[in-house]
Amino acid sequence: MTKYKVVYDRANCTGVAACTIVAEKFWQMDSDDKADLVGATLTGNDIWEREIDENDLPKNQEAARSCPVKVIKIFDEANKEVL
């Protein structure tokens, strides 16, 4: 099964919450009015990453597309951005 990496730039999140509406299993609002990527690991400078499989790709792609400030990126195993 193909794996993907969701990369989230939390520092630049504006708190619109569109991601939480379309993919609530993966995205939740925090008390500071920014989204959190559930199960993610901090990789530095408020960049969070989480691995997902192909079954979870469509919902996360929808979350990335719905983000007005484009702080959600998804990469395949070859590190190519997929949207």
CATH number of the domain at 63, please: 3.30.70.20
Structure tokens at 40: 């993610």
Tell me whether residue 80 is in a domain: no
Determine how many CB atoms are found less than 10 A away from the CB of residue 41.
10
Distance between alpha carbon 41 and the CA centroid of its chain, in Å?
Answer: 12
Residues 6+ apart with CB under 8 A from 80: none
pLDDT level of residue 47 (50, 70, 90 thresholds): very high
The total number of structural domains that make up the chain: 1
Tell me whether residue 10 is in a domain: yes
Q: What is the pTM of this model?
A: 0.95
pLDDT in tens, 13-42: 999 999 999 999 999 999 999 999 999 999
Element (H, E) at 61: helix 57-66
pLDDT in tens, 54-83: 999 999 999 999 999 999 999 999 999 997
